[in-house]
Amino acid sequence: MSEPGARRGETPDREASESSSAQPTELFTIHGDAIMGPTGRPKHEFSDPEPLSSHGPARIIAMVNQKGGVGKTTSSINMGAALAEYGRRVLMVDFDPQGALSAGFGTSPHELETTVYNVLMERGVKTRDAIVSTHVENVDLLPANIDLSAAEVQLVNEVAREQVLDRALRQVRDDYDVIIIDCQPSLGLLTVNALTAAHGVLIPLEAEYFALRAVALLVDTIEKVQDRLNPDLEIDGVLVTMVDLRTLHAREVIARIVEAFGEKVFETVIKRSVKFPDATVAAEPITAYAHKHEGAKAYRQLARELILRGGSP
């Protein structure tokens, strides 16, 4: 992986590399006086949020989908970076033993001495002991590595095992405006911990039929956590990712998602782009790696929409 900051900034050559194969920036139709966006609802421009007069306590958002490869980590990184651009103090929590979120901020997971695993499982380790700064202004990281996989087994014997992450995050809630938990692709005990600690759930959902089929089990798990552990938990929204609006299949799947989730579906959709893996290799959010790219603009719009919905201060 490149060092943090590698390939930083925008260049004309990088812009040009995708221009020949770029998708349309939007797919919309006009009904009467309303312009309809990709989700089939009226298209809006979300204004820049007002700066905060003070910081904390944080609203905690769990990025959850038990299906892998739907854009959880990419969306966590870029939404967090976009919120930080609007003056929000953000803590990114890597809650996946693969450590992809940590690597996405230029950290080498296998070289870490103190991670979220130590915070959860070792009594003397405080949450602040494991938090590291990132090269993105206003963004800190609570990292993870493969050690976290052992917690799934070890937590089974713990008292109040579903609330261990909640207790850890209470120590730092007042330091941040938003805490984003990037969950592993499963519905095991770690994910239940994330849902118990969170105020809201954001579900990234690929515009693909099999991804849609898997979401029913996730919603069932969320409802069980609401009933038994965290009655204040709510679904902040469903984010449609990896969209190719040129295909009929993608448009049909988006229509099915809106039919199932209604107003919970974010108006913002994230289209496929080679810039996302490029930014990952450079260990940067796309908002910094390709500042003017459509993907960067989409995540800024998502941040504005989330704030407008009340999903973030």
Residue 40: its pLDDT value, please? 66
Specify whether the CB–CB gap between 225 and 246 falls below 8 A.
Answer: no
Do the domain assignments include residue 147? yes
The whole-number pLDDT of residue 271 equals 93
| Contact present, 134 and 106 (Cβ < 8 Å) | yes
SS (H, E, C) the chain: CCCCCCCCCCCHHHHHHHHCCCCCCCCCEEECCEEECCCCCECCCCCCCCCCCCCCCCEEEEECCCCCCCCHHHHHHHHHHHHHHCCCCEEEEEECCCCHHHHHCCCCHHHCCCCHHHHHHCCCCCHHHHCEECCCCCEEEECCCCCHHHHHHHHHHCCCHHHHHHHHHHCCHHHCCEEEEEECCCCCHHHHHHHHHCCEEEEEEECCHHHHHHHHHHHHHHHHHHHHCCCCCEEEEEEEEEECCCCHHHHHHHHHHHHHHHHHEEEEEEECCCHHHHHHHCCCCHHHHCCCCHHHHHHHHHHHHHHHHCCCC
Which is it for strands 265-271 and 234-243: parallel, antiparallel or unpaired?
A: parallel
In this structure, is residue 10 part of a structural domain?
no
Q: Which domain holds residue 276?
A: 55-309
Place of tokens 């990184």: 77
The tally of domains found in the chain comes to 1
Q: Return the amino acid letter for 71.
A: G
Q: Is residue 257 part of a domain?
A: yes
Residue 93's pLDDT is 98
- Residue 224 β-bridge partners: none
Q: What's the pLDDT at 9?
A: 42
Query: Using CA atoms, how far apart are residues 160 and 198, in angstroms rounded to an integer?
Result: 16
Q: How many CA atoms lie within 13 A of 193 on its CB side?
A: 32
pLDDT on residue 208 = 85
CA quadruple 95, 100, 105, 106: dihedral positive or negative? Answer: positive
pLDDT at 23: 41
Tell me which residue has tokens 């290799």: 281
- Considering Cα of 78, then 173, then 195, then 186, what sign does the dihedral take? positive
Provide the CA 51 distance to its chain's centre, in angstroms.
Answer: 22
Residue 124 in domain: yes
Within a domain: residue 179? yes
CB 135 within 8 A of CB 282: no
pLDDT for position 246 = 86
Is 68 contained in some domain?
Answer: yes
Given this model, what pLDDT does residue 14 score?
42
What is the tens place of the pLDDT at every residue in 65-76? 988 888 899 999
Total-model pTM: 0.86
160-183: pLDDT as tens digits: 999 999 999 999 999 999 999 999
Specify the CATH number for the domain of residue 286. 3.40.50.300
Taking 50 as the pLDDT cut, the residues of the chain under it are: 1-33
- Asked if residue 199 is part of any domain, the answer here is yes
Tell me, yes or no, whether 206 lies in a domain: yes
Relative to beta strand 234-243, strand 139-142 is unpaired
